[in-house]
Structure 1
């Protein structure tokens, strides 16, 4: 099994998660990449990724030789997803406004930042930070996306998905408990919302997916990584695969304006996803010819479990849009 890849987005309970992983796997089995100048970055990472020659494959082979159980760091998902596989990639997301308030408190507390909260969140580098870590990735493909506000439930899902037992911790917090809320004025809330629209949309989608996954878990039903990619007047298309080791093809129902119009089986090749090391050698795509008009509402459902995707129907666009 490839090691887990933990995309540690700052102030999303990531420190609690990685230290819990250290306790389970052993510190020597967790490899970090927090940048060239960080003391937390592991020697093997420095040797292969920050030396004169950058050798990502050599890094992966070294991790394999040492039976590394998890790679982690403040790095974008593109950093290691092709080495670990998207199914072994894990991250946490947090309410964007609460996350940036926590980040500000962290900078004041640990780095002596003396600017105002507004000055801090107005810095372009602070805008849509969670989205920046997941650039180019469909959230539906990521192995597990936990929610900081539901940390215990997230950990339960992660442990069940990967058959591990990472213990629950609460480390590096600015508040007494992970669920505590930072006070944000209405004026700041309005401006933060304007500056972080991508993060807010990402978080809302992640929350819907998480609730759906948790519901299936409680019912003892499998979760499907599934995404509707194309909707036009002639066809609908997307991809789907089962989480875990089940590589049987996924049967997808196609619904138009709340009516079931037929099924498709996800067995078509999607070579563009192979770099993510998706299951079935990339044969996870589906498509179905349809006759649609602008304004029609399209949604799909996993035939076996009733899991809807996307979580809200997609509308057929008008020509030229």
Structure 2
């Protein structure tokens, strides 16, 4: 409201120059040199009656000063610790300079934007940068008027577990309406749950996240939790299961008597019954092969029945293309 824009550097400067005592509010030095004081003056002139500005002004003029020094210092340290990551190094040049590209370029012009801040190089800052781009693109896509023609947009995330957020499942639930495509590559379900914080809440978030991806492509995997999920998703079928027993003392076996269910004495017995078993066992996913640049997969898609009547199909992909 004060300057018309809100870069991270301005957030940092407002906080570190905020008044600490009531005396600061009347100090000529603070009024002259504090960026917070400058913003309060400009905000008063531009939007003095705006509800959001009034809340912001009251926070700095009353609440911030009244907060105990220990709590205030703790809060300031937490915020500045986050801001500092974006104000140094190459990240500062990419995020805190003049804006040359935005999510609107993806939605309006069909631009392809690669967020080249890998976590192995940039650490937590690289993760923040990727997640920020993802969330901003999601919000921009969902702000579009769904009643008009919408250019399809895609968010492609490799090692997607590193860039998840609590809003993902909610966004994906309505993505089709706004033509926002989500393509997520991840290694295993336990890895996904771990990055979501672990525990029962993460279990539910991970399942919701997976469920909102309508098409799933499973590759060879040795994680049994993941493979059990894949197996359950592919459904089950009736299978004839045979059984029997071998007595300790052999006798003459009468197949007709056995078929009629009559006692046959101490002789071998044969039985069979129908059981509902998975069409693909969990261990089947450990056997999916990779040969000469080609990878064997199992494809599942919500609401799709393949020509053989199954809800899944085996397909090979050429990794060289």
* TM-score (normalizing by structure 1): 0.27
Higher relative contact order (CA 8 A, sep 6+): 1
* TM-score (normalizing by structure 2): 0.27
Higher-Rg structure is 2
Whichever structure has more helix as a proportion of its residues is 2
